Chains A and B, each alone.
Chain A
Amino acid sequence: MSIRTHATRISAVGVAMFVLAGCVTAGSDDGDDQEDPQTVSDEITDEEVTLRLAYTDDPPAQALVEGFEDQYPNVTIETAQTDFGNYITSITRSMSSDDAPDIAQYNPGAMRSLVPAGHVLELGGYSELYGWEGAFPPASLEQLMSDDDAQQFGTGGLYAVPGGLSVLGVYYNRPMLEEAGVDEVPSTLAEFSEAMEAVAETGERPLSLGGLEVGALHLWNAVLNSVGPAQDYLDWVYGAPDSSIETDAAAEATEIIAEWVEAGYISEGSNATSDADALADFTAGNAAFHATGNWAAATVADEMGDDAGFFVLPGADAGSVPVASGSSVAYSISSATEHPDVAAAFLDYMNSPEAAEIQIETGFMPVNTEADVATDGLLGDIAESFAPVAENDNIVPFPDFAAPGMIDRLTAGLQGIISGRTTTEDYLSSLQEVWTSHHG
């Protein structure tokens, strides 16, 4: 038996490794499905139409689909949900196949290669027709634009439309702050730091942070938004020629994180803490602050009720309008769809007051900033702090958007900062190295 087992084991494991990378097959089609610019129309057929939609984030996808079907009873949208990890690894394959879904949730990282290959419909015609430019917050559309090669973002064609916005901020534990004598929500970055100090003096933990996954990069990103000029950051994330992250602002943001580590507000143990564990730690009342997005609002509200509050990390100076990272659950149309007009009508629906209500109910910020959405409690808190950000068009994308693989460098680099083993210079130059290898 031994030699057989032996040989089988070797080949089985060897093969498993092959399969790891080999589960993809080189496609031979040259991919260019996009035909000549077609005529666009906002007239929707009254015949029965069935569209297929592939998505990963629910909410809001399913509720939005139902809302749209109520308005257009002749349209049926069949949905297929895939969990996030599998979605980003499979969506490029399914969108470039002969059997592509008509509409797909947009993912900038995964779908980068679909744009140059022509598998995603360029929406300029519809944008003009429906007047999307004035209807959506410009920053939310900007993130969904790219040049033909998908090298530079924030410019060029529009490839998706947002169906609900998310925003990065800081949750706080009201009773813990009262205990520490902090009466007001911080209005400057320095006040935030002082609030953490006050909490630390009471013997409680100021901040819960998940450094194992994306928690640390969210915090760093929020601080960077707070200290730096937004334009430099935007240029870098969008891949504008010659831009760099090795700026004074980025260095200052990194130093601030290092100081918070030094002061004990952030523990080295954060590096082994997952985002879910960090959130659970915060909602269990073990820390006063936790930086993450409104996607966690439902969980926080359920666990903490009125004890929890939310603010967008303020700027360095009092009175400055905060800048916050945010993204959207956005939808793209396949260039192979037979019903582009109907699909575009679904995208236009995202901006309607009805959709705004669905978006806020499902925990997102509405894309229609003028929609009157009354909420209270934590969701109201989030909506209130988000409003000035959106109105001033101060939503910026997340830093991992800058280049493929950037998320791994960001995570590892910040783990080094939290461990006190990586210098600010090394961290920023490692990010720039990834950026340069992609953007040239």
Chain B
Amino acid sequence: MADITQVSPAPRERSRGAGLGTGRRRPLNRRAAKAWLYLLPAVIFYASFAIWPALNTFYLSFLNWDGVQPPSWAGLGNYVQIVQDPALYNSVLNALLLIVFFSFIPVCMGLLMTALLMGRMRRGMAFFRTVLFLPQVLPLVAVGVTWRWLYNETGLFNQFLELIGLGGITRAWLGDYDLALIALGFIGTWTMSGLCMLLFLSGAQKIDPALYEAATLDGAGAFRQFRSVTVPGVRREITIAGVITTIAALASFDLVFVTTNGGPADQTTVPALLVYRLAFNEGDIGTASALAITLTALVIGFVTLIRRLARENA
């Protein structure tokens, strides 16, 4: 399978080459102009609601500003403040731990479900897909509130534990000092696994059946086929799933805000939650913006890392 980083430049070069080779620049320009006309609404929308606010946030991160009074120039002061704040380190560590639950486990779960659903189980596939993809469609706020009830002292989760004779370990999971972050993480696992599965299934369906036949003739069992045919076949999808879910983990806000709001005692704070608090509870727009920029840099760093790893393994 070709690596995604190598796939994309090829068509672009080809089209550029064709344009130059024929020397007929005018029609192309007109075509390009027409294309831009179609793109214009999207470009305007994207520029005004995405690029402009992003640049503006970058600018704000260099100001001391409470949102009302005239701002003053802070230089790198806000960034220095962030680096010196121990609360930030904890929140970043929490976000990193969440990557395990939002990204690593869901990718494994997705692969497992793909393996189970790929082979003979064609009937009922639509049902499984719908059910497992459902968490993706639900608003995270509703997901969070529901899970808070499931996890509470008398909630369904504890009822189940009592049923199987584990009544001794029941507790309000999201209120437990040591376990709240893990409990929160599993909500993410539940939310993300279906997405991974759906991506992998769609990838796996594009694999040439002849490869499986060849593998069978070579005497490969189900596990060997999965390892040598299915997994390499969905490499691109694994990278995409890894990137999407890692971003979800690092930028998680709504789930944390609704379920624990960073508690108990800051055990589940994440950087995005601190951005919100700085901006809206403390009225410190400058530091909030600086933290948002830092978080973005962190996300870009992680995404680059994942893509590089994927390329090296190709």
Partners in one complex: yes
A61-101 near B? 1/0 per residue, CB < 8 Å: 00000000000000000000000000011001100100000
Q: Which of B234-272 contact A (CB under 8 A)?
A: 236-237, 239-240, 243-244, 247-248, 251, 253, 260-266, 272
Please, which residues of chain B bring their CB within 8 A of the CB of A20?
Answer: 253, 272, 275-276, 279, 292
Please, which residues of chain A bring their CB within 8 A of the CB of B89?
Answer: none
Among B7, B173, B277, B295, contact of A17 (Cβ-Cβ < 8 Å): B295
Please, which residues of chain A bring their CB within 8 A of the CB of B148?
Answer: 272, 274
Give CA–CA (A399, B300) in the complex, Å.
Answer: 40
Please, which residues of chain B bring their CB within 8 A of the CB of A17?
Answer: 251, 272, 275, 292, 295-296, 299
B60-101 near A? 1/0 per residue, CB < 8 Å: 100101111111000000000000000000000000000000
**Are B263 and A271 in touch, CB under 8 angstroms?**
yes
B61 to chain A minimum Cβ distance, whole angstroms, is 8
A25 close to B (CB within 8 Å): yes
A40 to chain B minimum Cβ distance, whole angstroms, is 25
**Are B54 and A408 in touch, CB under 8 angstroms?**
no
B263 to chain A minimum Cβ distance, whole angstroms, is 5
A369 close to B (CB within 8 Å): no
Asked, given contacts A22-B60, A272-B174, whether A407 binds B261 with beta carbons under 8 Å apart, the answer is no
* A interface, over-half SS: helix
Asked, given contacts A11-B50, A274-B148, whether A31 binds B260 with beta carbons under 8 Å apart, the answer is no
Please, which residues of chain A bring their CB within 8 A of the CB of B70?
Answer: 27, 29-31
A416 close to B (CB within 8 Å): yes
B234 to chain A minimum Cβ distance, whole angstroms, is 11
Among residues of B, the one whose C-beta sits closest to the C-beta of A416 is B265
Among A15, A26, A116, A407, contact of B60 (Cβ-Cβ < 8 Å): A26
Asked, given contacts A20-B292, A21-B289, A211-B175, whether A6 binds B4 with beta carbons under 8 Å apart, the answer is yes
**Are B243 and A9 in touch, CB under 8 angstroms?**
yes
**Are A23 and B53 in touch, CB under 8 angstroms?**
yes
**Are B275 and A14 in touch, CB under 8 angstroms?**
no
Please, which residues of chain B bring their CB within 8 A of the CB of A271?
Answer: 172, 174-176, 263-265
**Are B68 and A92 in touch, CB under 8 angstroms?**
yes
Asked, given contacts A272-B148, A272-B173, A416-B264, whether A88 binds B280 with beta carbons under 8 Å apart, the answer is yes
**Are B68 and A113 in touch, CB under 8 angstroms?**
yes
Please, which residues of chain A bring their CB within 8 A of the CB of B251?
Answer: 13, 16-17
Count of B interface residues, CB-CB < 8 Å: 70
Give CA–CA (A189, B283) in the complex, Å.
Answer: 37
Q: Which of B25-73 contact A (CB under 8 A)?
A: 49-51, 53-54, 56-57, 59-60, 63, 65-71
Please, which residues of chain A bring their CB within 8 A of the CB of B7?
Answer: 2-3
Give CA–CA (A416, B267) in the complex, Å.
Answer: 9
Among B54, B68, B176, contact of A268 (Cβ-Cβ < 8 Å): B176
A321 to chain B minimum Cβ distance, whole angstroms, is 34
Among B51, B244, B263, B276, contact of A415 (Cβ-Cβ < 8 Å): B263
**Are B53 and A15 in touch, CB under 8 angstroms?**
yes
Q: Which of A130-138, A246-254, A417-425 contacts B (4 or more CB under 8 A)?
A: A417-425
Task: List, sorted by A's number, 25 A–B pairs whose CB atoms are closer than 8 Å.
Answer: A9-B247, A13-B248, A14-B54, A17-B251, A17-B295, A18-B292, A20-B279, A20-B292, A26-B60, A26-B63, A26-B71, A112-B283, A113-B69, A212-B260, A213-B261, A267-B153, A268-B171, A269-B153, A272-B152, A272-B173, A272-B180, A404-B281, A404-B284, A411-B263, A419-B176
| Other A-B pairs beyond A18-B296, A96-B68, 8, CB < 8 Å | A2-B237, A6-B4, A13-B247, A92-B283, A117-B69, A212-B175, A411-B261, A419-B175
Chain B residues close to A by CB (< 8 Å): 4, 7-8, 49-51, 53-54, 56-57, 59-60, 63, 65-71, 148, 151-153, 171-177, 180, 236-237, 239-240, 243-244, 247-248, 251, 253, 260-266, 272, 275-285, 288-289, 291-292, 295-296, 299-300, 303
